[in-house]
Amino acid sequence: MKFFSYKTFLVLGLLLVASVSAQEAQKEKLQRMIDAALDVIYSDTHTTLSANEKQAQVREKLESSYDLDVMIRYAIGKNWRRMNEREQIEVLELVKQLVLKAYMIGLDGKDRPSITLGELTQIGRARIEIESTMVLDAKTYYILYRLRQMDSGWQIYDIVAENVSVSSNYRGQIDDHFRKGSGADLIARLKNLLAEDEINEDTKI
Amino acid sequence: MKTQKFKRPLAWASLIGLLSVTNLTAQDGNLTEDEAFFYEEVDEGADVYDPFESVNRFTFEFNDFVFSNTIQPLVDAYTAITPDPLEEGASNFFHNLRYPVRLASNLLQCRFKGAWVETGRFAINSTVGFVGILTPADDYEGFAPIKSEDVGQVFGAWGIGEGPYLVLPFLGPSNLRDLAGFFGDRSLNPLKEPLSMIDDWEWEWQLATSGTGYIARSPQIIERYKQLKGSSIDPYSSLRSGYAQYRRGAVAE
């Protein structure tokens, strides 16, 4: 009976504390990443950069903190198996470019948003949610970041803006696509999308 | 003593075993835990009942054509000639006029605090804010803007199902429940009571105000629509999923 002695409880308690503080550290990491990305777009020192250069720098900042492939793989779901290895790599890259482009265009011509992180909630084994509010053009939006502990560390796998989950939205689109189309069709569609709305090099955000 | 010595490693082994089992149960066949995670089902918005998909897709294409060729040029002209504060003022004015819809929708859901906030905002904005053009209520404690309620949300809160997904000509995404709610909204809106438009001698006035309200609201809608279209693999599917998730969230709140 002595097995579950105070030492055991002490060890379990320490593990719990370590786990909670590791999760809290994710909040700080997320805030740093958001600030760094917004600095690239809005800082006075970056005014000479073109929209494409800014996009490249934003990508660098995001990728230095998180593996963007995780969110894209989660959005693709089981459709991943319907593509060959070459298609998988190309789709990952093209979706990444598309999402980044949408992010940049979404902020085009607007003042720097103010983003405040709120409560962190554990939503399951190795999963957390971080609430946030974004004030953009005097309007407040509620955004939720969902993170999961992967082999590569804590990674963002979903962003829920005003109740709309980005991963779920893309999953629905990709599911619909693969009902009739192939991996090659998806690549062609993504390339068309990127070419259609190429960011104007002269655009200054 | 012997038994105790034997029990201790056994207990540790059981604990480690228990932890390993949790790991193993998450695996699907030969998949690693990370792989299994990528293949898991997502719940939100994934299941939208869309039995009229072919008709809806056709209406979606029609709306897209109308948006791109008629409404967008109108909205572009409107935003070009209207200074930003005036544009915002017009949007505020029409939002303020929809107060009866928001009040009734709050009351029908027994959201008395929401009804109180909406009433306070209407009173302040209609008087101090020059018939709702300005929104001084934003600065009054307890009267900060809250999320708008409508009759479709009321039906959702009452437990009425969404019904099939619909794309309405000129109006965009909806479902059977929200379509019924739309007529409810119109009957509560002092400017848009639909049946009176047929015989009412003032139909020109009502059409003009409805049209102006539509244009005043459109810049934001057009901007969001363009963003959605530019970042979607399948804009129809994206709008359907986005609409369903947004409305489900609004009903749940």
Query: ipTM score of the complex?
Result: 0.80
Reading phi first (left if > 0) and then psi (alpha if -120 to 50, else beta), residue B131 is in left
What is the rounded distance in angstroms from the CA atom of residue B243 to the CA atom of residue B140? 32
Q: What pairing do the DSSP bridges indicate for beta strands A127-136 and A153-161?
A: unpaired
* Runs of H (alpha helix) within chain B: 2-25, 33-39, 53-66, 72-81, 84-97, 99-108, 112-127, 151-157, 176-188, 196-199, 203-230, 235-252
Per the structure, the complete domain to which residue A150 belongs is given by 2-196
For residue A40, tell me if it sits in a domain.
yes
Instruction: Look at residue B79 in the predicted model and tell me its pLDDT.
Output: 75
Give the pLDDT confidence score for residue A109 in this predicted structure: 75
Model pLDDT, residue B26: 46
Task: Name the amino acid, one letter, at A52.
Answer: N
Give A27's pLDDT tier (boundaries 50, 70, 90).
very high
Q: How far apart are CA A82 and CA A73, in angstroms?
A: 13
Evaluate if residue A67 carries a pLDDT over 50: yes
Inform me whether the C-beta atom of residue B241 falls under 8 Å from chain A C-beta atoms. yes
Gap from A204 CA to chain B (nearest CA, Å) = 18
pLDDT computed for residue B202 by the predictor: 65
Dihedral of alpha carbons A6, A8, A14, A19, sign: negative
The answer to whether residue A151 neighbours chain B at the CB level (below 8 Å) is yes
Q: Give per-residue pLDDT as tens, B90-114.
A: 888 888 988 999 999 999 999 999 9
CB A171 within 8 A of CB A75: yes
Interface contact flag, A186 B233, Cβ < 8 Å: yes
Across the interface, whether the CB atoms of A80 and B44 are under 8 A apart is answered no
Nearest to A102 among B44, B46, B227 (CB): B227
| Angle (CA) B37 B40 B45, round 5° | 130
Tokens of B53: 């998909």
Task: Indicate the length of chain B as a whole number.
Answer: 253
Q: Is A91 on the interface with B (CB under 8 A)?
A: no
Quote the CA–CA distance of B2 and B9 in Å, as a whole number.
12
Q: What CA–CA distance (Å, rounded) separates B101 from B105? A: 6
Which of B57, B237, B238, B253 to probe by mutation at the A interface, max A CB count within 10 Å? B237
CATH number for the domain including A104? Answer: 3.10.450.710
Over chain B (253 residues), what is each successive 10-residue block's mean pLDDT? 54 54 50 87 78 96 89 78 80 88 94 94 92 90 90 95 94 94 85 54 66 70 80 92 93 87
Is the residue at A203 inside a domain?
Answer: no
Over pLDDT 90: what percentage of chain A? 58
Residue B115 CB partners (closer than 8 Å, separation 6+) = B103, B106, B107
Split into its structural domains, chain A has a count of 1
> What backbone torsions phi and psi does residue A127 show, to the nearest 5 degrees?
-130, 140
* Two tokens, residue B150: 């409508």
Q: Which residues touch B157 (CB under 8 Å, ≥6 apart)? A: B109, B251
Task: List all residues of chain B from 26 to 65 with a beta carbon under 8 Å from chain A.
Answer: 26, 32-34, 37-46, 48
Contact A81, A175 (CB under 8 A): no
Rounded-to-integer distance, Cα B76 and Cα B82, Å:
10
Q: What type of residue sits at position A193?
A: L
What whole-number distance in Å separates Cα of residue A6 and Cα of residue A13?
10
The alpha carbon dihedral of B239, B242, B244, B250 has a sign of negative
Distance CA A28, CA B13 (A): 37
User: What Å distances lie between residue A175 and A125, A168, A171, CA to CA?
Assistant: 27, 10, 6
pLDDT average, residue stretch A167-180: 92
Structure tokens at A28: 């700080």
Quick one: pLDDT at residue B27?
45
A168 part of a folded domain: yes
State the average pLDDT over residues A105-129. Answer: 88
Return the SS3 of B237: helix
Closest chain A residue to B234, measured at CA: A173
H/E stretch holding A9 reads helix A6-42
Contact A51, A199 (CB under 8 A): yes
Domain contains A204:
no
pLDDT of residue B15: 54
